[in-house]
Amino acid sequence: MSALGDLGEDIFAPLGEALGRIAPEIEVAETARILSVGNGVAEVAGFTDLHADEVLHFPHGVVGIASSLRPGRIGVIVLGDTARLRPGDRLRRSGRVVDVPVGEALLGRVVDALGRPVDDLGRIDAAERSPVERPAPTIMQRAPVEVPLQTGIKAVDAAVPIARGQRELILGDRQTGKTAIAVDAILNQKDTGVLSVYCAIGQRASAVVRVVETLRKAGALGRTIVVVAGGDDAPGLQFVAPYAATSMAEHFMAKGRDVLIVYDDITRHARAYRELSLLLRRPPGREAYPGDIFYIHSRLLERATHLRDKHGGGSLTALPVVETQAQNISAYIPTNLISITDGQIYLSPALFEKGQLPAVDVGSSVSRVGGKAQLPAFRAVAGSLRLMYAQFEELESFARFGTQLDEETRRKLTRGRRVRDMLKQKEHAHLPVPEQVAVLLAATEGVLDALAAEEVAAAEETLCRAVRAELPALCAAIAAGEPLAQEARGALIATMRAALEGRGDGDA
């Protein structure tokens, strides 16, 4: 009997030890219940402590952001589909604010506003994460904005130059080429070491795919992060997207890199925030926008800057895109952004219809950095371009009355028309700075006056070839930032005149 008892104890001993090692795991989490849920927002109650912008976890993997913190009822911006959420469902706190992955692993990828991949290339193994809302650098951390950021577009680099760390607004009516200018600016950074972030807000999927394919074909996708919050996505994702994209860009800026970020476009971002604010029952203001609409854009764009060397020395250049209606640049959102940014590039529908592409209205466009964002040789050639072009447009308008014109006036009109023809440029046809200097010098110095308008494009190619082949040392000096001496200027004009004369002899 005792033997059987000992055998029984031996059999159940391992089971007793295993049961002793097993302890129930208790997960402690503060939860609440959904009171109401709608398209993009939810009202919840039950939390005793909550932080602004804290991430909340709903059922079915949906997350939200605590937005309106009121006693008893909390407004939550839902970052996902609300169709499966029901009043009474429980949600819980996360204890952290919204953040996104950052780092080299994101380059070449297409992600959503929360950093999740949407390009079918697998998961992103990012070593770091960063909050989407971060304070802008202080005044003492900022360095002067002086280093040029070339777009390769003559009308922009000559008349409204952009510097690294600047915020330059691109605005115009729909279908006037705003995205094309922004994408061209990204493509032209191929050999400059500048990284790029393209943030699509509320765009059609087909438009985003077209941009991604353009970047891929040009070999620029590998140094670009594409952040997408499409028109079919929740308004909360559209609202968070530009802040998330900026955090991804700031990671590289803090490490001393130069980054270009494009927000395409801020108009849809403002509309998404207006929709969320109305759903959260915030008081509407002008055009039903909430009172803090200016603040949400200023706190975003103030993060673009050029840092001092002791703070990393990197830069973040912002190109926000805004859509105007019927050429009304004095509307609410455009004027807000004009007052925040360091200048604007205005695209005119009238110029677009006339075939003046890119349709940059030189008179209505401005860069508040000005000549500081140009190389010395470029500044010497393009310094008087805006004034001369404005005088030409006024003179051309006056000449339409049929007044008899003297020879000097006719010469100025011809010169102005050649400058306008020279500012035309095909999409993705970027010009290096030395070649831009050469063709603009040819237009302003009268080298092209004898040509017909339809001959200017071919003449431009001839001039560029001649300058590259015959003056390589001068081209290298211009690109290196050396001033354009008078002797070099004369040699450049003589070379171009000879090239056009040789072209004419060859044609004959």
Structure tokens at 318: 């912002």
What DSSP letter does each residue of 409-454 carry, written as one string?
A: HHHHHHHHHHHHHHT---TT----HHHHHHHHHHHHTTTTTTS-GG
Q: What are phi and psi of 231, to 5 degrees?
A: -65, -25
Q: How far apart are CA 148 and CA 164, in angstroms?
A: 6
Residue 92 is among the residues annotated as catalytic for this protein: no
Query: Distance of CA 505 to CAs 21, 467, 497, 500, Å?
Result: 97, 19, 12, 9
366: alpha, beta or left? (left if phi > 0; alpha if psi -120 to 50): beta
Structure tokens at 426: 């095909």
Structure tokens at 84: 């499966």
Beta strands in 15-62 (DSSP E): 31-37, 41-45, 54-57
Q: What are phi and psi of 498, to 5 degrees?
A: -65, -40
Structure tokens at 139: 């005044």
Q: How far apart are CA 314 and CA 443, in angstroms?
A: 36
Under DSSP, is residue 375 helix (H, G, I), strand (E, B) or coil? coil
Beta bridge partners, 117, equal: 111
Helix axes 456-470, 486-507, angle to 10 degrees: 120
Looking at 368, 417, 468, 497, which residue is catalytic? Answer: 368
Residue 496 contacts by C-beta under 8 Å, 6 or more apart in sequence? Answer: 438, 441, 442, 447, 463, 466, 467
Under DSSP, is residue 281 helix (H, G, I), strand (E, B) or coil? coil
Which amino acid would we find at residue 25? E
Structure tokens at 34: 């959904």
Under DSSP, is residue 56 helix (H, G, I), strand (E, B) or coil? strand
Query: Would you name the residues annotated as active-site residues?
Result: 368
